[in-house]
Structure 1
Amino acid sequence: MNKPVPPHAPLLEYYEAPAKRSDFVRNLFNRTAESYDGINAAFALGSGPWYRRRALRQAGLAPGARTLDVAIGTGLVAREAAAILGGTRDLVGLDLSEGMLAVARRQLGLTLVQARAEALPFADASFDFVSMGYALRHVADLSALFGEFRRVLRPGGRVLVLEIARPEGRLAHALLRGYMGAVVPALSRLSGRESATLMRYYWDTIEACVPPAEIIARLGEAGLAQVGCATELGMMRAYSARCPG
C-alpha cells in the first residue's frame, strides 16, 4: 500500500493527532457554513465569480459536460460551472461537511453527495470534468485524491483545481501573511469566533502546504496528462490536467 501524501504536515495546535484532522476540518466547516459566504469576500484575493468562471472555461468546461465539483462547500465554484453548463442538470456536488451541503442545497438545485474526496462514491469514467476550489489543503492524501479524479473521469475528461499558494517573494509573502494571518481573522470575528478560527486555519494551511511543483508532480503520477498550472498575482494557482484517451 502506498504511503499517504498529505498536502501539509499536521497542524497540532488545532487537533490532538493527525488521525483527528478530518473530524476537526469537518466540524469546523459545519460550524461556519452559515457565515462562510459572508467572510469569503474578505479573503477572495481576486478569486471572485469572474475568476472562477474564467478558470473553468480555460480548463475546458463546456455545455454538455457531466461535471463533478469536489468539496463544493456553499457552491461558489459550482455556481459558475452551472452558468457555463446552462443549468445544474449535468452537475454533481460533493462535500464531507453536512453543514456546507445544507447551504449549497438551499442555493443550488443540483445533486449533492456527502463523502470524502479521496473515496469518491461514483463508478469509473462517470464524468467529463472534475473541479475543486480551494480545498486541496483539507484532504488527507494527494495521491489518493488525484487517483480518484482520474478514475471517475472519462477518456479526454478535464480536471481543474483552484488553490492559493504561498508567494515566493519575501515582500509578497509578508504582505499576504499579514492580511490572511491577522487582518482577515480579525474581520471574520465579526461573524463569530469560529469564523476567525477558520480563517487562521486557512492561512496556516497555506503556509504549510507543499509547493506547487509537488502538486503538479502528483497529478502526473496519478496518470493525468497535459498537467499545467496558471498563476496570477503570484499566489492564485489554477492546476489543470486531462485524462488520457
Structure 2
Amino acid sequence: MMEPESKHKHVHAVFESIASDYDKMNDMISFRRHRAWRRFTMRKMDVKPGQTSLDLCCGTCDWTLSLAKASDKGKTIGLDFSRNMLDIGQAKIDKLGMGNQITLVQGDAMDLPFEDNTFDFVTIGFGLRNIPDIVKTLKEMKRVVKPGGKIVCLELSKPTWQPFKALYYFYFNRVLPLMGKWFVKRYEQYRWLPESLVPFPDLQALAELFRSIGMRNVKAYPLTGGVAALHIGTKGNEGV
C-alpha cells in the first residue's frame, strides 16, 4: 500500500496531467453512467433553494454546478487540490455566468479551511478513494456541515454478484487502462483508477465508517450492479 505522503503526491500528479481529458474520459469509461448516478444522487439529496453546499474534490465542477443550480441562489463552494482541474471548472462557471454563486478553492479535503457547522451539504464525488486518510476526511466533512445537514459520497464501489463481477473487473483492470493509452496517451494515469479501488471500503464497510464518526440515518445505495455507490449520512444536533 502506498504511503500517505507518496499517495498524495502521486494522485496530485495524475489529476494535474489528465485534467484536459477528464470529462471526455469519464463519459467514455463509464459509458456516461456517471451522469445518471449524479442525477440519482441529486434526487436523493433534494437540495432546496437557498441551501449551501461544499463540494470536495470538485474536479471540473460538474457536480458543483448541479448543486448550485438546485439551490438557486444558495452559496456553493468547490474545493480541489488540482489547479488544472479547477481552471477547467472555473471556465465552465464563467461560461454559465455563475461566478457570483460559486467559489472555487484550492485546498486539502483532510484539512478544510472552513468554520464548524457552515454548510447544509458537504459532498465528495469520485474522490474519497484517492485521499490518504478516509476517516479524517469524513470527520472534516462532518465538522463543517450544519447539525441536521448531510454528508454525501458518490464513489466507485465493488460489485459482488457473478458473472457480472468477473466481467466488470476484467474491464476495469485490463481494458480501462488501455483506453487511457489509446485515446489520451495516459496509460499509467488510468492504471491508477483500478489500483485506487483495491484498498477502498466496499458498500457496507463505508457505511460503517459513516456510522463510526457519528453520522445518523446512514443510507447506502449500490448503483449499476454495484460498480458505484451513494452514501448519505445526517449530522445530529449534538454538533461536531
Q: TM-score, normalised by structure 2?
A: 0.88
Q: Is 1:151–2:151 an aligned residue pair?
A: no
Q: Is 1:98–2:89 an aligned residue pair?
A: no
- C-alpha deviation, 1:234, in angstroms: 2.3
Pairing partner for 1:107 from 92, 99, 116 = 92
CA deviation vs aligned residue, 1:64-102 (integer Å, no higher than 9, x gap): 111000000111222322232236x51100011111111
Distance 1:134 1:75, change over 3 A: same
Q: Whole-Å Cα distance in 2 between the matches of residues 159 and 47 of structure 1? A: 22
Q: Is 1:55–2:52 an aligned residue pair?
A: no
Q: Whole-Å Cα distance in 1 between the matches of residues 31 and 216 of structure 2? A: 29
- C-alpha deviation, 1:50, in angstroms: 3.7
Structure 1, 153-162 or 179-188: larger mean CA deviation:
179-188
CA RMSD of aligned residues (A): 1.8
Q: Whole-Å Cα distance in 2 between the matches of residues 211 and 188 of structure 1? A: 25
What is the aligned partner in structure 2 of residue 181 from structure 1?
Answer: 173
- C-alpha deviation, 1:136, in angstroms: 1.1
Uncovered stretches (5+) of structure 2, i.e. residues with no partner: 94-98
Matched residue count:
229
Contact (CA 8 Å) 2:122, 2:151: kept in 1 or not? yes
- C-alpha deviation, 1:18, in angstroms: 4.2
SS state at 1:166 partner: coil
Pairing partner for 1:44 from 21, 30, 33 = 30
Q: Is 1:222–2:207 an aligned residue pair?
A: no
What is the aligned partner in structure 1 of residue 96 from structure 2?
Answer: none
Q: Whole-Å Cα distance in 2 between the matches of residues 223 and 232 of structure 1? A: 25
Q: Whole-Å Cα distance in 2 between the matches of residues 85 and 199 of structure 1? A: 34
Contact (CA 8 Å) 2:47, 2:70: kept in 1 or not? yes
What is the aligned partner in structure 2 of residue 4 from structure 1?
Answer: none
Contact (CA 8 Å) 1:49, 1:76: kept in 2 or not? no
Contact (CA 8 Å) 1:53, 1:81: kept in 2 or not? no
Distance 1:38 1:46, change over 3 A: closer
- C-alpha deviation, 1:46, in angstroms: 5.5
Contact (CA 8 Å) 2:54, 2:123: kept in 1 or not? yes
- C-alpha deviation, 1:60, in angstroms: 3.4
Contact (CA 8 Å) 2:52, 2:71: kept in 1 or not? no
Q: 1:133-212 counterparts in 2 under 5 A?
A: 133-194=125-186, 196-212=187-203
Pairing partner for 1:32 from 15, 18, 21 = 18
SS state at 2:160 partner: coil
RCO comparison, higher one (Cα < 8 Å, 6+): 1
Contact (CA 8 Å) 2:220, 2:229: kept in 1 or not? yes
Q: Whole-Å Cα distance in 2 between the matches of residues 63 and 187 of structure 1? A: 40
What is the aligned partner in structure 2 of residue 127 from structure 1?
Answer: 119
SS state at 1:48 partner: helix
Contact (CA 8 Å) 1:180, 1:200: kept in 2 or not? no
